[in-house]
Structure 1
Amino acid sequence: MSNQNHLEQQQLRAWNAVAHWYHSYFTGLVLYTVSRLGPAKAEEFVYEVFCHQRREKFLPGLEKLGLDQLPHAVAAAQYHYLSNHIGGVSVEYMYESDRKAWIRYAAPRWIWSGTALCGIPPEVSRAMLAGWHAQNGVMLKNPRLGFVCTKQTVDGQSGLEGYYFEYDRDLAPHERLRFARHEDAPDFDRQAAPRLPTETWPAARLAKAHRNYAMEYVRSAYPVALQLWGPDEAAHHLHMAARLVGMQFFHETATGLGGTYESDAKGFAKFLCDLAIAQGDRAALKPVPDGYLVRQEGWAFAEGLPSFHPVFARAFNGLVDGAMQAHNRRLNVRFQHLEEGGSQVLEWHVSDR
């Protein structure tokens, strides 16, 4: 393998490591909400997050993927198939008619990865469908389009599956999502499924989109948490979930970034610099008299973030707090969030105690 190919492969691994880092944060945040605040608040939180995602992504995504001229049931199902494929999710699509098209999220699913599946109440899974799938007809200005769920993974069934269906009449709001557990999806035929053009979606573009897709889930969660819980409570819960995830996933993420991180201040500073770059930010590491300074200019995670509040920076830094605990709990890391010339800057001062 040439040096250029090696660098490209390492970049792909780093982007995938960042994607897993943020996927884990989102799953951890939902589980934290379930366990600390209760299923009802978790249901409300997930519903609002997926409403936010739908409002921001669905219609632009249809156009970007070239699906906006298809029959509405088909367009909605193909959107979920292709967009989740870009995000690295295993999804199946089965066309039945112009008014009925299936999707199936096969197990295992990243959103409730590993044993997290055991901690997700069924109503939280339903909230995802109610916030996104059931509202696609509303977004398309087609009041006859609804979603029928036939299986839920959290109920011990083989996957999350269902179909978009265009009825002969307008649907009342409570009819946009219904359950039909006695129905079963047809078999998936990969050859009959839609495909992304390989010329415009090469491996590097897919890996970068996968990273951005994962970051977007957490980016959507921040303003929702702020509005539902208020700044003080949101800052605490977002930070604590981040801290726990940072502890659990530091070593795995460090391996994916491909660096050699000694267990001293310089090693952790190098990890922070590499992580920032893999996230799409500009970052530099330099020695200072009593340790090392990592300066990140720009903050890709916060770009376009609605309802930005200063508590988001502290919450976001929970990932770093947790990672440090796993790397070397004896280190001292001081963090600050600045605004310079209209640009956001994050700085970490890492030192041995």
Structure 2
Amino acid sequence: MIEKTTTNEPVQAWRAVAQWYHAYFTGIVLYTVSRKGADEAARLVYEIFSRQRHERFLPGLRKLGLEQLPHAMAAAQYHYLSNQIGGVSVEYMPESNRKAWIRYAAPRWIWSGTALCGIPPKVSTAMLEGWHAQNGVMLQNPRLGFVCTKQTVDGQAGLEGYYYEYDQELAPHERLRFARDEEAPEFDAQLAPVLPIDTWPPSRLAKAHRNYAMEYVKSTFPTALQLWGPDEAEHHLRMAGKLIGMQFYHETAQSLNGDYGRDAFGFARFIADLGAAHGDKTTFANTGTSFRVNQEGWALMDGIEDTACVLASAWNGLLEGAMQAHNHRLHLSFSHERSAQHWSLSWQIKA
């Protein structure tokens, strides 16, 4: 049974998609660490978070109504609210107009479960360098920097630090510094911002949670393409997708619609239901010898201009892996077309 809100929206299916992409993003980073090394993984993470910062930070400040706050408080409140929407355990502790703390408490969302053991410290630092340390640049305030006091990957209790507005302008290497001897104040929910219920009802929050996880992969795909080129990016992302699809198929299927059986018809229904939970229009039909699923649009890549067709094949690795978990004796073929900004995806499943 799919959970629905009072507006009859499939909240449980949206949560399934959120977990699907959460796992995929973490899997891509871990796959990069194990196949290409910590330095290349750090480079990838830095570029992903830089891209997200350029695309999301300033519009997000305006959407959340934070643009008029002192810059240290605005940056910290943005990370508190946006990550809270995504289901991340996060705390916000204001100390003054020029100093505001943010703390991502354990367990860490982004490196969930045992994945935390496989993330090198420099990969976690790359995230801070690509986003937190550059918030002052985005706000055109060269005196705003970020001070990191803890990192979970170093065995500390969380990722913690504070935005601080200095008296002087910061050089690029000064925008992020470490102060491991400092300790954050206790979190007081009374001092933290709250999303207004009238503009953020449960249905909007559930959909935003799904989109939050999808955004990580949405940023990763064009970033990997630019860093590695089409052939290597396709192989790398497809292989990570196959592994994640195999591992998370049963959990995702259960959240979408329960029992899909083991036949071709069941897997066709799974693809169609998964596409619908993304927000795409999907249909499937029995052709006599196989089942065909058609999808109009590709919500994951909406608004991304530098998306090569090879990335559609890379993304399909998720469904290749899922089918191996559903029934490895089935055959899956995939095709796609792109005209202007419109995508058409098609799958054929047969015994």
Common fold: TM-score over 0.5: yes
Tell me how far 1:341 sits from its aligned partner. Answer: 7.9
- Equivalent position of 1:185 in the other structure: 184
- Equivalent position of 2:249 in the other structure: 250
Tell me how far 1:326 sits from its aligned partner. Answer: 0.5
Distance 1:253 1:211 in 2: 13
Give SS of 2:344's match. Answer: strand
- Equivalent position of 1:59 in the other structure: 58
Tell me how far 1:260 sits from its aligned partner. Answer: 2.5
Give SS of 2:170's match. Answer: coil
Letter in 1 for 2:200: W
Distance 2:123 2:338 in 1: 37
Distance 2:340 2:133 in 1: 43
- Equivalent position of 2:232 in the other structure: 233
Distance 1:44 1:306 in 2: 22
Distance 2:186 2:241 in 1: 39
Distance 2:327 2:142 in 1: 56
- Equivalent position of 1:99 in the other structure: 98
Distance 1:5 1:276 in 2: 19
Letter in 1 for 2:54: R
- Equivalent position of 1:139 in the other structure: 138
- Maintained 8 Å contact 2:30/2:118: yes
Distance 2:56 2:132 in 1: 13
Distance 1:131 1:113 in 2: 20
Tell me how far 1:338 sits from its aligned partner. Answer: 1.5
Distance 2:136 2:11 in 1: 36
Flag as ranges the 4+ runs of structure 1 deviating above 2 A: 3-9, 339-343
- Equivalent position of 1:276 in the other structure: 275
Give SS of 2:182's match. Answer: coil
Letter in 2 for 1:160: L
Superposition pairs for residues 41-60 of structure 1, below 5 Å? 41-60=40-59
Distance 1:209 1:82 in 2: 12
Q: Deviations over 1:270-324 (max 9, x none)?
A: 0000000001100011111211111001110111113111111100000000000
- Equivalent position of 2:150 in the other structure: 151
Letter in 1 for 2:36: L
- Equivalent position of 2:344 in the other structure: 345
Distance 1:229 1:72 in 2: 36
Tell me how far 1:342 sits from its aligned partner. Answer: 5.7
Letter in 2 for 1:77: A
Letter in 2 for 1:177: L
Give SS of 1:251's match. Answer: helix
Distance 1:211 1:194 in 2: 22
Superposition pairs for residues 18-29 of structure 1, below 5 Å? 18-29=17-28
- Maintained 8 Å contact 1:283/1:296: yes
Distance 2:41 2:243 in 1: 18
Distance 1:325 1:347 in 2: 18
- Equivalent position of 1:202 in the other structure: 201
- Maintained 8 Å contact 2:332/2:347: yes
Q: Deviations over 1:107-138 (max 9, x none)?
A: 11221000000000000000000000000000
Distance 1:206 1:255 in 2: 22
Letter in 2 for 1:68: E
Give SS of 1:349's match. Answer: strand
Cα distance 1:64–1:185, how it changes in 2: closer, same or farther (>3 A)?
same
Tell me how far 1:57 sits from its aligned partner. Answer: 0.2
Cα distance 1:96–1:5, how it changes in 2: closer, same or farther (>3 A)?
closer
TM-score, length-normalised on structure 1? 0.97
- Equivalent position of 2:315 in the other structure: 316
Q: Identity of paired residues, percent? A: 66
Tell me how far 1:258 sits from its aligned partner. Answer: 2.2
Distance 2:117 2:152 in 1: 10
Give SS of 2:107's match. Answer: coil
Distance 2:183 2:341 in 1: 54
Letter in 1 for 2:241: A
Distance 1:142 1:337 in 2: 45
Q: Deviations over 1:52-111 (max 9, x none)?
A: 000000000000100000000000000000000111111100000000000000011221
Q: Deviations over 1:23-75 (max 9, x none)?
A: 00000000000000000100100000000000000000000100000000000
Distance 1:62 1:30 in 2: 27
Letter in 1 for 2:78: Y
Q: Deviations over 1:221-257 (max 9, x none)?
A: 0111111111110100010001100000000001111
- Maintained 8 Å contact 1:259/1:271: no
**How large is the Cα RMSD of the aligned pairs?**
1.5
Give SS of 1:112's match. Answer: coil
Letter in 1 for 2:177: R
Letter in 2 for 1:181: R
**Unmatched segments (≥5 aa) in structure 1:** none
